[in-house]
Each structure stands twice: as C-alpha cells, then as structure tokens.
Amino acid sequence: MGDCLSSFVLYPNPALAKKAVPAPVDARLIAIGNRLRDAATEAKAYGLAAAHIGEIEPIIVLNIAPDTPDPNYALYFNPRVVAVAPDTEAGREASVSLPGVEVEIVRPVWAEIAFEDAQGIARTERFEGFVARCALHEIEQMEGRYFLSNLSRLKRDMALKKAAKRRAG
C-alpha cells in the first residue's frame, strides 16, 4: 500500500479544488476510470475521485461491498446527487490525499445518485450507510470540495496540524 500512495495527489494540491465538468463517456474517460479503479484496488480505498490521480474528470470509483473480503469496485461517470435522506449521522472519513488523518463528518444516511455507466447509459442507484457516505464524499471531491471543508475552521486546523506532524515525524 505504501508504494501506491506516492502516486496520489496530496492536499493542498490545486487539483483537489477543481470542479470536473460532465463529459461524454468515451474511450478516454473509460481509460481514466480503469486507472482510477486500479489505484483504488492497490490502495484498498473505499472510494476515489479522478482528482486523486491528477485527472479533473467526472469519474468516481466506489467499493460497493465494503463489508466483504473481496472488494467490488464500480465506476460511476458523471455522477450527481439527486436525493438524500433527511436523517444524518456522524462517521469517520479520510482521504488518500491526506494520509493519517481521520475526522468525523455528519452526512445523510442514504443518497440517490444519478450517473452513466461505461456504455454511457443513464442510471440511478440508491446507496445506504457507509457506501452512501463514500459516494457523497467522492462526488464532493469531484466537484472540487475537499472533505475537510465540511468541518469548522477549528477542527480543520486541528486535522491539518496532525497531518503536518505526521509528515515531519
């Protein structure tokens, strides 16, 4: 796992603040998606957005079976949130772009996502619990919103201080 982390874009790289715009699902996008899935597999990530590998494209990958021994990585092209639960819960979140930092973030308990598959066919999927959290986290990243922006300034500063200490020591 340590080797692949060096290939991820690290916070505060400007790529993490860039919004991907919808694009047709073509061979180029599929190739980036395959690289993204390979990176997620190698890092054992629950999810990644293309920005994590330096591509500002509308693609995320999610492990849709996080509680099983064998991950099931699915690609989502042009994903967008169409509905979320009114109920929320706090949960731990992290990013390959800021190794060693985990923070608690409040998110809806389910989310409905519209997206295109690798054939460009429009689909909608509803995710529950942890997979919903991952989907919302990665779609925000795809839209140029790093997960730390969900924290108060004080909590964000504490998380960044922790990251700086880890890098220094």
Residue 138 appears among annotated catalytic residues: yes
**What is the tally of helices (H) and strands (E) in the chain?**
4, 7
Whole-number Å distance between alpha carbons of 9 and 50: 10
CB 40 within 8 A of CB 63: yes
Catalytic residue, from 125, 138, 140, 143: name it.
138
CA atoms within 13 A of residue 110's CA, in its CB half-sphere: 8
Question: Which residues are known catalytic residues?
Answer: 138
